[in-house]
Amino acid sequence: MMQQYHALKAQSADCLLFYRMGDFFELFFDDAKAAAACLDIALTARGEHGGNAVPMCGVPVHAAEGYLARLIRAGHRVAIAEQVESPAEARKRGGSKALVERAIVRVITAGTLTEEALLDARTANWLVAVAEAGGMAGVAAADISTGRFEIATVPLASLDAELARLGPAEIVVPETLEAAPAGAIPFSPRAFDSLAAETRLKALFGVATLDGYGRFERAGLAAAGGLLAYLDRAGQGALPLMQPPVARATADHMLIDAATRESLELTCATGGGRKGSLLDAVDRTVTGAGARMLAADIAAPLMDRAAIEARLDLVQRFERDPGLREGLRSALRAAPDIGRALGRLAAGRGGPRDLGQLRDGLGEARTLHKRLASLDDRPPLLDETAARLAGHGALIDLLARALVPVPPVDAAQGGYIAEGYDPALDTLRATGGEGRRAIAGLEAQYRAATGIAGLKIRHNGVLGYHVEVQARHADALMAADSGFTHRQTLAGVVRFNAADLHEQALRVGQAGAHALTAEAAHLEELTALALAAPAAIAATADALARLDVAAGLAERAAEGGWARPGFTGHPCFEIAGGRHPVVESAVAASGGRFVANDCALSEESRLWLVTGPNMGGKSTFLRQNALIAVLAQAGSYVPATSATLGLVDRLFSRVGASDNLARGRSTFMVEMVETAAILAQATPRSFVILDEVGRGTSTYDGLAIAWAVVEAVHDMNRSRCLFATHYHELTRLAERLDGLTLHHVRAREWKGDLVLLHELARGPADRSYGLAVAKLAGLPPPVVARAKAVLAKLEKGRAATGGLADGLDDLPLFAAAAAATPPPDPLRALLAEIDVDALSPRDALDRLYALKRAAEE
């Protein structure tokens, strides 16, 4: 057995090997140690190898999916070694000691999952292959759970952005690829052959040319070759469902780099997961397929104005008709995920329940088609979408006749073919039923004949049907003329067989076996018919998802008072009453009210310099406008009173502070790298938000950098830009940059406390309110008081000489030599602690007494 195990392990050295032994998958050696630690199960030993005990652990076959899910989430890959013959076949082949033949039937990886238990229903599961050719990066992506297949060729500099759009579960690259994406799996370079890939794609889809699917460049085809080879290995030569490839071009959608996606939290929040992301705030879909499509829409906002308007027309139709919207959403809730059911069937991992889901989902689609086709005022996208809901009548009717109303998940036990579909099967079932009734009659006869009231006829997988009595009654059945044959003695019970029981058991067993065989044949036939036209079923699945997305966006617009955005041919950005959808939801949940703000960028005022205190809402204002651009071009209503914008080709966000120490980058280095990327790539059609550029270094360096960046964005890139800063010196640029205007978030101090109004107003802020914010944040009063003293000295020095650092030398905090600092003065320390504005009359009197005592001491 160990020889067989090692041979199989050699075929899958980079995977944990699940070795089938009866009702368990067993793992050995280092695989067992890794799995036991990950799954928190017992690590045992079995026999010896090389003089040492062999570590072993195992999981039940019937519960394997749950364990596999945990292993995959932990980053492992698993090879499944199944028994490919029965023990009886093995004995027939090689005698009583013959080893059951096993083979690796599948390699399970994060990107090759199809099982419901292993997938998130609301998230796509992309497997991506990357290749390089001619100085370009090829990206081939497949979600085999639904068959979606995309091929793109992008500049090498845009590879990270393309991968960030997809959010792949797994990335495969040739072993020779330099600067491979983090976590990528190296694969044989021979698999990434563009010519061989083109030939294989033609054969796979039965076409003489790929031109009908779009234009594919060599880098993209090379990546597709690697992807198909990896899927071959995972499926051991059996490819999963693959729809014809879609040619993706970077010009098709708004380009958003990885840093911007992370900063704006489009589909994933900073802490991980959907909660707190834009997707979470917008998503009102009622199906998993709809949620996946909405995520894809937000990840890749469109650049085709006509396509955007078509989506918006559909949303508007549902937004204006609440009754239609609610009826549609109720119907969609009842529709199963037919895309993933089709994927499981195509991968050979489906069963009766997946066919039942196709029947129910396609039936719901047929009903919806009739309802939508009868509507007045149908926008073009509604007609187009509704047309894809029809055309499966024969398959729906066949599955309705063939399957029971609720088919089981496991086909092994049968019972999924409906009565009346196959008369021969009905006869076999009747025969089995008659046999079981006859066996029940035998039990009564045996009790009467033996006088043993506790005699029972039972069944198990080893003995089959047998007679069972308590041990004290066994002697009566042991007699040679009793008609019973002893089979097994256990603690407290003894088991027997009988000739007439054996005869009836054979009838039941044969009828049952023949019935299972007949049902299996029907299952195979029905599956083949369902897979005869996978493209049409996939199109229906996409149509249902598109309706769910549109109805969900309409629901979100209605509940939030969102507005339909308008588009122009010139790069303007005019938002009235704009809000941040995520922050607004959080504020509403706490009982507060979000303060809306306008934004009006145009050629004459394309760059806004926004000043004001921390926590005043500058970053929120910047982000909300970037999110409005994403939502608008994704085909959604937006959180605003009104919105008109020119299409945004590239979106950039440099907001927040973070480091990347693993790549040797400090917070300031990350800031500079991201800013450099913006200046190198932004165009006059881009939208840029920049927050506190230059704050990560010395004051003079940071101010100089921020100054130069503002000039570059204004003069060179000419992008629509919101630039938030605390460098008030930058406001002087408004005197000579004709496209720059000054704005600030309003705040005021009231009785010593800072009141943040979160309102945007024209002109520069009068000051930063930094000390007030520090006090609001809970900085200790002595520290705040000391900061006030330092600030007063700085401002006095600047007023006298114009130098920022003038007057610092006589402050102990900044003195060159610590030894020169005078000892602390208790009276000065007490005085420094006093916040005069916050004292009550009683507190003032107490302070005076304390000062008097200190002076006397």
To the question of whether residue 145 is assigned a binding role by annotation, the answer is: no
**Is the pLDDT score of 806 beyond 60?**
no
What is the structure's pLDDT at 662? 44
Write out the two tokens for 844.
């003032």
CA distance 574 to 600: 4
- Provide the mean pLDDT of the chain: 90
Write out the two tokens for 561.
């008072």
- Burial annotation 283-296 (CB, 10 A radius, 16+ → b, else e): bbbbbbbbbbbbbb
Paired with 48 in beta bridges are: 53
Q: What is the DSSP letter of 717?
A: I
What is the structure's pLDDT at 847? 82
To the question of whether residue 492 is assigned a binding role by annotation, the answer is: no
What is the structure's pLDDT at 771? 76
Segment 767-775 shows an average pLDDT of: 74
Name the band, by pLDDT with cuts 50, 70 and 90, for residue 814: very low
Angle at 725 between CA 721 and CA 731, to 5 degrees: 85
More confidently predicted of 804 and 85: 85
More confidently predicted of 810 and 92: 92
To the question of whether residue 618 is assigned a binding role by annotation, the answer is: yes
CA distance 726 to 703: 9
To the question of whether residue 95 is assigned a binding role by annotation, the answer is: no
To the question of whether residue 86 is assigned a binding role by annotation, the answer is: no
CA distance 39 to 60: 13
What is the structure's pLDDT at 819? 40
Name the band, by pLDDT with cuts 50, 70 and 90, for residue 435: confident
To the question of whether residue 619 is assigned a binding role by annotation, the answer is: yes
Amino acid type, 652 = F
Write out the two tokens for 848.
């005076």
**Is the pLDDT score of 178 beyond 60?**
yes
What is the structure's pLDDT at 614? 78
- Burial annotation 688-707 (CB, 10 A radius, 16+ → b, else e): bbbbbbbbbeeeeebbebbb
398-434 residue pLDDT tens:
999 999 999 998 898 899 999 999 999 999 988 888 8
Strand order of the sheet with strand 573-578?
A: 566-568, 642-646, 573-578, 597-601
Output the DSSP codes for 82-147.
EE-S-HHHHHHHH-TTPPPPEEEEEEE-TTS---GGGS-TTS---EEEEEEETTEEEEEEEETTTT
Name the band, by pLDDT with cuts 50, 70 and 90, for residue 324: very high
What is the structure's pLDDT at 38? 96
CA distance 104 to 110: 18
**Is the pLDDT score of 71 beyond 80?**
yes
Backbone angles phi, psi at 185, to 5 degrees: -100, 120
CA distance 555 to 65: 36
Domains and CATH numbers, the chain: 2-108 (3.40.1170.10), 120-252 (3.30.420.110), 279-329+351-406+527-558 (1.10.1420.10), 423-515 (1.10.1420.10), 562-762 (3.40.50.300), 823-857 (no CATH)
Segment 461-489 shows an average pLDDT of: 88
CA distance 89 to 96: 10
Name the band, by pLDDT with cuts 50, 70 and 90, for residue 798: low
Segment 575-604 shows an average pLDDT of: 94
Segment 726-740 shows an average pLDDT of: 92
Of 278-292, 419-433, 519-533, minimum mean pLDDT range = 419-433
Can you say whether residue 272 is alpha, beta or left, with left for phi > 0 and alpha for psi between -120 and 50 degrees? Answer: left
**Is the pLDDT score of 694 beyond 90?**
no
More confidently predicted of 820 and 82: 82
To the question of whether residue 852 is assigned a binding role by annotation, the answer is: no
